[in-house]
Amino acid sequence: MDSTVPMNASAHPPLRLRARAATGDELAQIPWLPLLERTQREAVIAQLQVADAEVGERVCRFGRPATFWFGVVDGLLKMSNDDSGGTAITFTGVPPGGWFGEGTLLKREVYRYNIQALRRSVVAGLPVETFHWLLESSIPFNRFVLNQLNERLGQFIAAREIDRMTDPDLRVARNLASLFHPTLYPGVGSLLRITQTELGYLVGLSRQRVNQALKTLQDQGLIRIEYGGLRVLDLGGLRLFHTG
């Protein structure tokens, strides 16, 4: 279920060397920031780093220690295990508003997956020690992380089921529905900026077959194909879509 993403980032300095402070607009895209008390929020903003990831650039690398909690401010990332030595699998895409890696940080483990930019993306990072400090000092932040873990578990269980599906239309429908998850990816709304090639990387299908599946879903009134993206018209219907 994995495809190779073009690597256009090799000429750039490492992502950590391009990190900068977040702008006001970027801070406004972080869903858990308003949950903090004023002093906690000020301390976190001082520690947050933001960087522009180029197409193909890796934000997290398999086997490396987890030093940041990452989130997508803008763009689209892919979570996969393609350096694990086993069968290459794409676990999920991570669209705007998505934060990931909290389980790895909680256990202070190395990454068991790669996170790679499918398109030019703005990625935010919170240092691991600041992450743990928030867990110790903020009940609302604890609730947010607990809810993330619970929703993520459900997402990965669903991903295993999608992996067994042989019908391409069904695979595209289920994968699309997961990218519009309102809790995990609140920054998406009803319109996801994604190309058919990028969706093919996530689903494990050719662009041509993805195009055919999207037209089927559009004919069913579930989505609308727009310039540069896809708009979901019926998320519940997309989740329950079946063929035959």
pLDDT tens-digit readout, 37-76: 999 999 999 999 999 999 999 999 989 999 999 999 999 9
Q: Where are the domains of the chain?
A: 15-159, 167-240
At residue 162, the pLDDT reads 67
Q: What would the pLDDT profile of 204-240 be if each residue is shown by its tens digit?
A: 889 999 999 999 999 999 999 998 899 999 999 998 8
Three-state SS letters, the chain: CCCCCCCCCCCCCCHHHHCECCCHHHHCCCCCHHHCCHHHHHHHHHHCEEEEECCCCEEECCCCECCEEEEEEECCEEEECCCCCCCCCEEEEECCCCEECHHHHHHCCECCCEEEECCCEEEEEEEHHHHHHHHHHCHHHHHHHHHHHHHHHHHHHHHHHHHCCCCHHHHHHHHHHHHCCCCCCCCCCCEECCCHHHHHHHHCCCHHHHHHHHHHHHHCCCEEEECCEEEECCHHHHHHCCCC
At residue 165, the pLDDT reads 67
At residue 85, the pLDDT reads 54
Domain 15-159 homologous superfamily, CATH:
Jelly Rolls (2.60.120.10)
Share above pLDDT 90 across residues of the chain, in percent, rounded to a whole number:
65
pTM for this predicted structure: 0.84
What is the rounded average pLDDT for all residues in the chain? 88
Fold classification of 167-240 (topology level): Arc Repressor Mutant, subunit A (1.10.10)
Strand-strand pairing, 49-53 and 121-127: antiparallel
**pLDDT classification of 83: cutoffs 50, 70, 90:** low
- Residue 86 pLDDT greater than 80, yes or no: no
The pLDDT of 118-134, averaged and rounded, is 96
- For residue 176, which of 225, 112, 119 has the smallest C-alpha distance? 225
Residue that the structure tokens 């990190």 belong to: 19
- Residue 8 pLDDT greater than 70, yes or no: no
At residue 4, the pLDDT reads 42
Instruction: Using CB atoms within 10 Å of the CB of residue 95, give its burial: 0 to 12 exposed, 13 to 18 middle, 19+ buried.
Output: buried
The pLDDT of 123-143, averaged and rounded, is 97
Q: Do domains 15-159 and 167-240 have the same CATH topology?
A: no
